[in-house]
């Protein structure tokens, strides 16, 4: 399943950087965005995950987010998340970059995490910018509002919006400076996250993808391991460091 080159690279690495996407949470019961098992058969994420959709119909967008928040609050991390916690303990330096907004890596116990697209459990005031961790705040009709009167929105990054520049900078730095880079459970189509594996490759890292199916980066990296991340990652721990989960 794994090349001897990968096992060797892991055994001697100094810095491991990991990028995760929706696929790593799929086995916890959080649907993905795209692909066969893709989440929103009814809603296209492109149509809801943007500020224009929110301004046009905040009720609908909040309904989608409330539904997802409830779902996420009821699920647990899976063996894929757990294996990454163990890897963080083994790698001298480790950085986990996630596109996911579900907070499951932190729940599992990962420490050095960069949340590229925000966190669904947090809200932000569109007027004064204050962050709010627990809703409901002040409700006006069906919509949550800030003490200042401004409309609250989920603190996530929508299409067409800039990512937090400090977090993005740290993510590019982690990609440029690692020996091994994993791209796990992401279709690698959404920029700028999708550039990170290629940045790591150009900087000389051994780049490995773990996914149920090939993606648009599969031909451009060192190794693709096809399978469920919740099965592949524990096996990788066993084959490399002889850890049973
Ligand atoms: C398994 C599995 C299992 C399943 N085991 N595997 C350059 C070129 C073209 C376009 C752009 C560009 N630069 C910017 C853009 C525009 C846009 C973009 O990238 N569009 C593309 C779609 C073309 N990007 C942006 O707008 C970004 N902003 C930006 O760049 O600002 C600067 C700028 C602004 C304006 C113009 C130009 C520049 C922001 C992107 C924000 C993305 N936001 C979302 C929503 C977050 C909030 C929420 O959750 O509601 O983030 S969209 C959605 O996609 C979400 C995800 O994080 C993101 C990535 O999806 P991911 O994680 O890859 O999931 P899937 O479903 O696609 O894939 C799952 C994979 O798992 C599949 O491959 C399965 O096979 C696999 N899988 N089960 C292993 N068990
Ligand atoms: Zn406010």
CA 124 / ligand 2 centre spacing (Å):
8
Nearest ligand 1 atom to the CA of 101 is 49
Neighbours of ion ligand 2 (CB under 5 A): 125, 127-128, 146, 148, 150
Q: Are 208 and 218 in contact (CB under 8 A)?
A: no
Q: How confident is the model at residue 38 (pLDDT cuts 50, 70, 90)?
A: low
Structure confidence by residue, pLDDT tens digits, 107-122:
999 999 999 999 999 9
Contacts (Cβ under 8 Å, ≥6 apart) of 141? none
Which pLDDT score is estimated for 35? Answer: 64
Q: How confident is the model at residue 39 (pLDDT cuts 50, 70, 90)?
A: low
- Nearest bound ligand to CA 124? 2
Per domain, the residue ranges of the chain are: 4-30+77-117+164-241, 31-74+122-156
Among protein residues, the one whose CA lies closest to atom 8 of ligand 1? 191
Q: What is the pLDDT of the chain when averaged over all its residues?
A: 94
Structure confidence by residue, pLDDT tens digits, 153-169:
999 999 999 999 999 99
Contacts (Cβ under 8 Å, ≥6 apart) of 60? 48, 53
Give the integer Cα–Cα distance in Å for 8 and 6: 5
Highest CATH level, class, for 31-74+122-156: alpha beta
CA 180 / ligand 1 centre spacing (Å):
22
- Say yes or no to pLDDT of 244 above 80: yes
Which architecture does CATH list for 4-30+77-117+164-241? Answer: 3-Layer(aba) Sandwich (3.40)
Q: How confident is the model at residue 137 (pLDDT cuts 50, 70, 90)?
A: low
For the segment 169-178, the average pLDDT, to the nearest whole number, is 98
Q: Which residues line the pocket of ligand 1, CB cutoff 6 A?
A: 21-23, 26-27, 32-35, 38, 45, 49, 99, 101, 117, 156-162, 185-187, 189-192, 211-213, 215, 228-229
- Nearest bound ligand to CA 163? 1
Among protein residues, the one whose CA lies closest to atom 56 of ligand 1? 99
Q: How confident is the model at residue 180 (pLDDT cuts 50, 70, 90)?
A: very high
C-alpha angle 244/197/192, rounded to 5°?
A: 125
| Cα within 13 Å of Cα(36), Cβ side | 2
Q: Is 117 a catalytic residue?
A: yes
- Say yes or no to pLDDT of 130 above 80: yes
Give SS3 for 170.
Answer: helix
Nearest ligand 1 atom to the CA of 191 is 19
- Ligand 1 test: best mutation among 190, 211, 218, most atoms within 8 Å of CB? 190
pTM for the predicted model, two decimal places:
0.96
Give the integer Cα–Cα distance in Å for 170 and 98: 12
Which pLDDT score is estimated for 6? Answer: 98
Are domains 4-30+77-117+164-241 and 31-74+122-156 of this chain identical in fold?
no
Residue 203 corresponds to which tokens in the numbers above?
């900087």
Give CA 21 to chain center in angstroms. 4
């Amino acid at each position: 399943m794994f090349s001897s080159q990968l096992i060797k690279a892991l055994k001697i690495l100094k810095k491991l950087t990991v990028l995760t996407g929706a696929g790593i949470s799929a086995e916890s019961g959080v649907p993905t965005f795209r692909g066969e098992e893709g989440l929103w058969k009814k809603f296209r994420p492109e149509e809801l995950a943007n500020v224009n959709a929110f301004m046009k119909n905040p009720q609908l967008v909040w309904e989608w987010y409330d539904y997802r928040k409830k779902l996420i609050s009821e699920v647990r991390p899976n063996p894929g998340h757990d294996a990454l916690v163990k890897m963080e303990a083994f790698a001298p330096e480790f950085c986990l970059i996630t596109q996911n907004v579900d907070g499951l890596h932190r729940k599992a116990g990962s420490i050095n995490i960069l949340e590229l697209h925000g966190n669904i459990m947090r809200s932000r005031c569109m007027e004064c910018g204050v962050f709010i961790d627990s809703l409901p705040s002040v409700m006006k009709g069906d919509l949550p509002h800030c003490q200042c009167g401004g409309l609250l929105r989920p603190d996530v990054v929508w299409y067409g919006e800039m990512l937090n520049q400090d977090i993005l900078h740290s993510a590019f730095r982690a990609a440029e400076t690692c020996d091994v880079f994993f791209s796990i459970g992401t279709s690698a189509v959404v920029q700028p996250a999708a550039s990170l594996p290629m940045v790591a490759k150009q900087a000389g890292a051994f780049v490995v993808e773990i996914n149920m199916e090939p993606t648009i980066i599969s031909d451009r990296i060192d190794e693709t391991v096809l399978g469920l991340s919740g099965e592949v990652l524990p096996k990788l721990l066993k084959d490399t460091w002889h850890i049973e989960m």
